[in-house]
Amino acid sequence: MKYANLHLHSTFSDGTHTPDSLCRKLVEMGYAACSLTDHQTASGCRIMAETAKKYGLDFIPGMEVYGRFDRFLLHLTGYDFDVTHPAMAEFLRINEESAYRATKARFEACIAEGMFGGITWQNVLDVTEPGAWMCNEQVFLAMVKFAGLTQKDYWQWIAKYNQPKVDEPVLYPFPAAEEMITLIRNAGGVPCVAHPHGQTHLLPALYKAGLMGAEYDHPDIDGEDSAAVVEFAKTHKFYLTGGTDHTGITGNNMIRGDLPNRSTIGFIAPLDADVRCGVTQEQFELLKTRELG
């Protein structure tokens, strides 16, 4: 059993657990520490920090962002950064606005095609956390609360939700990974690459660009990926991270079930697998105390 789970999502982005239910599950599973890494937002970290303290969990604030590198769209986790840093604050503001506009445009496109009868955009807003990075999850939560759907309906529902054509422009297109690494570092944080399945050959170049760590324990990397990350960390000042992400008890899919016809290229473990990924106490303390920078 690992000491800390450093890759988690909540209702502040595309997770199904509130900070309270997330912390409760973590304690039940035996974790002693965690980080909240919601997509494109850190809005839930203050509440998560307070809730973690209530449950006796140690906590590091975080976020997960996208970054283009070579032919890959990487997922990057940033830890322990200052949300008030001007460039970071602007990044967070633009992403919140862009997500709101994109989600509203898709919702309206679905309504125009006769979908989602019985709910309104106000219903969606009523279930959305303050400052959340909006996406399909808030719309689906409104369908559960106001239209009688259950979590078991999700996979059939999301297939329909993604069908309408939407032309709403993205205010903040996926930036280069180097840009995101620099943003996180300039805000005083630690940029790491998440679930680098088939991407570990990029570590030397990303390290030169300022990357400070990578996940070595995650449901969607294999033994070869993990070994490559650990080996790289032996010869570089490099943090080892890990967590369960959307898989398992703390994720979205224990109730929904595995993705029908799941491709193992993108998702190695069944999405409803009871995974217990994370980092050791020593690895967590190394990151929290910023021993490597």
Query: CATH code at 30?
Result: 3.20.20.140
> 184 and 265: one domain?
yes
Please give the residue that has the higher pLDDT: either 13 or 170: 13
In this structure, are residues 31 and 4 in contact, taking their beta carbons and an 8 Å threshold?
Answer: yes
Strands annotated E in 80-207: 190-193
The residue range of the domain holding 23 is 4-90+172-288
Residues 236 and 113 in one domain: no
Report whether 133 contacts 100 (CB < 8 A): no
Residues 3, 32: Cα–Cα separation, whole Å: 6
pTM recorded for the entire structure: 0.96
How many CA atoms, within 13 angstroms, populate the side-chain half-sphere of residue 12? 28
Domain count, the chain: 2
Task: Among 136, 161, 186, give the residue marking a domain's end.
Answer: 161
**pLDDT tens digits for 267-282?**
899 989 999 999 999 9
Does residue 157 sit in the same domain as residue 179? no
Residue 56 located in a structural domain: yes
257 and 113 fall within a common domain: no
Q: Is residue 98 part of a domain?
A: no
Predicted confidence (pLDDT) per residue in 29-64, tens digit: 999 999 999 999 999 999 999 999 999 999 999 999
68 domain residue, yes or no: yes
Please tell me whether residues 39 and 124 are part of one structural domain: no
Q: What confidence tens digit (pLDDT) does each residue in 54-98 have?
A: 999 999 999 999 999 999 999 999 999 999 999 999 999 999 999
Query: Does residue 184 sit in the same domain as residue 261?
Result: yes
